[in-house]
Structure 1
Amino acid sequence: MLRISFDGLSGHFEFLNATQVLEIINVIGKEEVKVGFWTIDAAFSKNIGKLNSFPNDGLESIIWPGGILDNPVRRMPQVSNRRLRIGIPLQYRSGALFQVEYDAQTSSTVVSGFCSEVFLAAFAGLDPSVVFQFIPFKPKAGVGTVKYNDLIDLVHAAEFDAAIGDITITANRSLYVDFTLPYTDLGLATLSRNADATSSLWIFMKPLSSDLWIVSACFFILLGFVIWILEHQMNDEFQGPMVQQIGATMWFAFSTLVYAHRQKLKSNLSRFVVTVWLFVVLVLVSSYTAALSSLLTVEQIQLASKGGSVGYQHDYPLHGVIVRNVNFLDTRLKSYHTIEELADALSKGSKKGGVDAVIEEIPYIKEFLAQYPFGYSVVVSEDVTNGFGFVFPKGSPLTLEISTQIARLREDGTLQNLQSKWFGQKPNPQSTPAPKILNFKGLRGLFLISGVSMAAAIFLFTLYYIHEKVHYTYAKLTGGRLASILRFLLPQSTIGVE
């Protein structure tokens, strides 16, 4: 304070260096109450010249705004009216996300559910003395007949102090009102009914892609051909009529799939090739089993190929998000108003006038699974929406304060506990992976190893075969015809000397 110096309307203002004492005044409304002094040497004291053992011991009690005697830890926004008018979308609504009921005895609207409890918990940490009056902005309106943008307009017109409910944060709405931090998960999720996977005739073919099936079959045939080359000359089980040789070779090759081959191999090169191939079969069979189990556990929907219909709830902004960001045709989208309608449409399927899947914001998906926990699965999700937030007029100080409280509720686990209370202990829809099929590109290294081993075995066999042929020919020429020719051309004495 001693460094303050400026020129005002009345002239130059500056604290003189001789100023060593400051008087502390507690302003209460229009009154001033002296609570003590501050000096450079004695710090705070009630009387000048009296030393204190601890700070503030010599000061009178300070009354803070709101009649609070305890020192506030942070500045609380002042609410001019202790009863806040809170706008809500509907007069009647059921579900774990947001419940609205009308109490005829008290002639008031009672709210409950996840959204309302988060709002009340956030405000309790801010100012627990505030009373709320929940007002449906369109009384007696049914689900699907109201537009949430109309509620936003009423908050913008200051007819409501705030608005709560399943209200999605959008860029267009943010131009007219302020939103708090989102208190729900972000994005859309795809929900489908668990189909009977065994009803598909070719379900066993789905874990592997077509190129992997073809390459695997070719390598089985190639293995039989290589083993026949290596074993044909020395192994009786690979000899005989041509039909028998082909049958024995193919049986040996494909029986390695279940490790049931019985033919005894006599060539070390054949054993080497089969050992490498059995490793490839082990990895291939294990991967196939895991992929098939995943496929049977979570039925993967293929809406693009089947041309099925997709359901969503009635909120208009969501319709545009699905068309723009999820790349679904507008003609395939069907709007529904309640969870019960969505469940009925999923049970029917597209062929019977229903839908094959539901694309909704994740909070709605959690609400659906809380009511229908069995028979449905979340297969994919995309972060293309901003979640739910509480609505306040532009410039309201409550927006920042409630956002801070939401962050605190998320950090201390209260928000997670509320989700578990209303939605149950369910996995996060964003963490549920869709099963993937195996393709040749992912396993091409295995086939490369097996192919190299077969090529190396054939190369070594060829070298050995050429060596044996050359040695046999040389020996035959040396001991047979070559000796007869030499006896005929050379004298007998010369041959005997040799």
Structure 2
Amino acid sequence: MKAFIAILESYGWIRFTFIYEDINSASVQVIPHLMEAIKETDVEISNIVKLSPLASSSSLLEELERINTEQCRVFLVHASLGMGIRLFQNAKTIGMMEKGYVWITTNLITDLLHTMDSSTFSIMEGVVGLGSFVLDTSSRFHDFSTKFQTNFKIQHPVEEKNMPGIFAVEAYDATWIVALALSERNMSGQKLLDMVSSISLVGISGEVNYIDRKRAPSHMFQIINIIGKYYREVGFWSEGLGFSEVIDDRATYDTSLGYLGHIFWPGRPLDAPRGWAIPTSVKPLRVGVPTMAMFKQFVEVKYDERTQNHTYTGYSVELFKETVKRLPYYVPYEFHPFTGKYDDLVEQVYLKNFDAVVGDVSVVSRRYQFAEFTHPYTETGLVMVVPVTPYHGQWLFVKPFTLGMWALTIVVNIYTGLVVWLIERKHSPELRGSAFNQTGILLTLAFTRMFFTNGDELHSNLTRMTAVAWLFAAIIIGQCYTASLTSMLTVRRLIPKVTDYETLKNSNAVVGYGRGAHVATYLVDVLGFKRDNIRSFTSPEGYAHALRSKEISAVFLEAPFTKLFFAKYCRSFTTAGPTFGDGGFAFVSFLTYGSINHLSY
């Protein structure tokens, strides 16, 4: 059964219908192995159809018509060859051997395909079969096959199909084991049975050994594909290795059946079937949508009085629609508005008024008693938002440097001007004159010389060296000033008034929260705020006004709401403290509803 599951996973099919004939090999061997195989994967059984060995054609047709109304189009058939042929004849009659269908048979049918005629193959075109593996390239098998065909032709001269099947091969190996056991002395009864069970050998059918007096299950299978009036051997599947074209030391393996080349499915489509179809009779999911969402960007419900219909928009709604489109099966749904608390909305799933809930619904532990949640589709966490410290910047331009730095800059400027003045006054008449004029020139000389583009303005090399040194120092001072001033104009404005929630709690400050009783419970039970010191708000404008008017000192918002809030109020508020634990937003589904649970994958 693991080989069958590997085929499903190759094409992303996660649901199949199991059709079996009510015989011992199904109830005792196949069904337990099938359940064990799917337990380790995400594959589910959509339906189980039991066929009576004495079922009439009309009852077979009735069962096929019933499962054809469902959306699953992948079928696993475990039945005898006679029942299988009758089943496929009826399936072809009602169009279930056309494009879009997938039929896979177990070894009960596959191992006997060599006995079928071409007319039967045409009925089963597109079927993929899993058969028992036989190493038919060995010399021992060749010798056995030659002798078998010779004897068979003598006994059945009219029969054209004389190749040995798996049952003949296994019987040959079993005979060898009994012969080996009888070669020992005094072998009879229980002693002979124990001896046979303990023998292990490599026969023409592969490795032969017994577990609990039953032949150990094979770990290799042959894969065949029926095309037209014949069938072809596609390749092999080995447990723990995957699919391969051959079985030898040079074999290469892959996890996908597509590695073995193109498979001809019923109707011969160019691509593999998707494994599902829109069912003719299925009730759509009833999806509840909250009408009282705080941020309309996540979910918004509008009512059109003219058409008397609701429209549902927002990130959560669009994400749900797109996710459902990508599911590997069809899921019809319809939205229904709900006005009330979010806890009550989730409880509606438990009460079976809704099958699922879509919206800005937080994952909270107490809600798990009513429903299940998919994986969160938003950032998780609870964030504290506080006002920023107001800053009056009339003299901001002098803040980048300390008083000592400003004094040092002025002294260096005057000193450089004095040096240039002393050296250049003999060569420049403009550096002479009254004491008042000389003082003004002295104070500005170093600054103005930085902008001289003509080197001839300076007559002494000492002056030029002084000017270069001052220019280098001025560039560094200017860059530091610009960087510091830029930082003050941006970062300084975002300094929060409060840096942690402990300060608020110890000062008995009043805080707010966006919405949801679970946030209030977290503030009281986990963070330790007094219930009298927390207030609820229903809109971002409400708690923005309360923060500005100092009605509250901080507000606690879920992380996704914080980003939307800052998109509108980024200049007045900022976050503070750590991000507290919160489950984020997720879709809600009923405890046993598998379709929605697949949205988590």
Give me the whole-angstrom Cα distance separating, in 1, the residues matched to 2:530 and 2:29: 71
Change in 2 beyond 3 A, CA 1:309/1:8: same
Shift of 1:402: 1.1
- Confirm whether residue 375 of structure 1 aligns to residue 572 of structure 2: yes
Q: 1:96 aligns with which of 284, 297, 301?
A: 297
Shift of 1:320: 1.0
Give me the whole-angstrom Cα distance separating, in 2, the residues matched to 1:86 and 1:392: 9
Q: 1:35 aligns with which of 121, 124, 127?
A: 124
Report the residue type matching 1:313 in the other structure: G
- Confirm whether residue 184 of structure 1 aligns to residue 378 of structure 2: yes
- Confirm whether residue 296 of structure 1 aligns to residue 492 of structure 2: yes
Paired residue for 1:343?
Answer: 544
| SS of residue paired to 1:331 | helix
Deviations 1:359-390 (A, max 9, x none): 11112222323343442222344131100111
Shift of 1:149: 1.5
Q: How does 1:271-290 map to 2 (within 5 A)?
A: none
Q: 1:314 aligns with which of 515, 519, 523?
A: 515
Shift of 1:72: 4.3
Shift of 1:391: 0.8
Paired residue for 2:369?
Answer: 175
Report the residue type matching 1:296 in the other structure: R
**What runs of 5+ residues in structure 1 fail to find an aligned partner?**
64-68, 139-145, 206-253, 263-284, 405-498
Q: 2:322 aligns with which of 102, 107, 121?
A: 121
**What runs of 5+ residues in structure 2 fail to find an aligned partner?**
4-22, 31-79, 98-122, 137-222, 235-259, 413-479
Q: Conserved in 2, the CA contact under 8 Å of 1:94 and 1:100?
A: no
Deviations 1:289-328 (A, max 9, x none): 9997886232222262665321112311110112233343
Q: Conserved in 1, the CA contact under 8 Å of 2:510 and 2:533?
A: yes
Deviations 1:316-349 (A, max 9, x none): 1110112233343333211111122112112211
Shift of 1:11: 10
Report the residue type matching 2:343 in the other structure: N
Q: Conserved in 2, the CA contact under 8 Å of 1:45 and 1:57?
A: no
Report the residue type matching 1:107 in the other structure: Q
Give me the whole-angstrom Cα distance separating, in 2, the residues matched to 1:70 and 1:391: 34
| SS of residue paired to 1:197 | coil
Paired residue for 1:8?
Answer: 24
Paired residue for 2:430?
Answer: none
- Confirm whether residue 44 of structure 1 aligns to residue 238 of structure 2: no
Shift of 1:9: 8.3
Report the residue type matching 2:590 in the other structure: P
Q: Conserved in 2, the CA contact under 8 Å of 1:325 and 1:384?
A: no
Shift of 1:73: 5.6
Change in 2 beyond 3 A, CA 1:29/1:401: farther
Shift of 1:400: 2.6
Q: How does 1:134-149 map to 2 (within 5 A)?
A: 134-138=335-339, 146-149=340-343
Paired residue for 1:363?
Answer: 560
Q: Conserved in 2, the CA contact under 8 Å of 1:115 and 1:166?
A: yes
Give me the whole-angstrom Cα distance separating, in 2, the residues matched to 1:379 and 1:13: 63
Shift of 1:158: 1.2
| SS of residue paired to 2:124 | strand
TM-score by length of 1: 0.50
TM-score by length of 2: 0.43
Shift of 1:167: 1.0
Aligned length: 315
Q: Conserved in 2, the CA contact under 8 Å of 1:162 and 1:392?
A: yes
- Confirm whether residue 196 of structure 1 aligns to residue 390 of structure 2: yes
Q: 1:61 aligns with which of 229, 248, 267?
A: 267
- Confirm whether residue 384 of structure 1 aligns to residue 581 of structure 2: yes
Shift of 1:119: 1.2
Shift of 1:157: 1.5
| SS of residue paired to 1:189 | strand
Q: Conserved in 1, the CA contact under 8 Å of 2:290 and 2:359?
A: yes
Change in 2 beyond 3 A, CA 1:128/1:376: farther
Change in 2 beyond 3 A, CA 1:198/1:255: closer
- Confirm whether residue 158 of structure 1 aligns to residue 339 of structure 2: no
Shift of 1:198: 3.7
Change in 2 beyond 3 A, CA 1:355/1:367: same
Change in 2 beyond 3 A, CA 1:49/1:348: closer
| Bigger RCO of structures 1 and 2 (CA < 8 A, at least 6 apart) | 1
Report the residue type matching 1:399 in the other structure: I
Give me the whole-angstrom Cα distance separating, in 2, the residues matched to 1:322 and 1:79: 50
Give me the whole-angstrom Cα distance separating, in 2, the residues matched to 1:369 and 1:11: 62
Shift of 1:75: 7.4
Change in 2 beyond 3 A, CA 1:78/1:151: farther
Change in 2 beyond 3 A, CA 1:125/1:309: same
Give me the whole-angstrom Cα distance separating, in 1, the residues matched to 2:404 and 2:537: 55
| SS of residue paired to 1:358 | strand
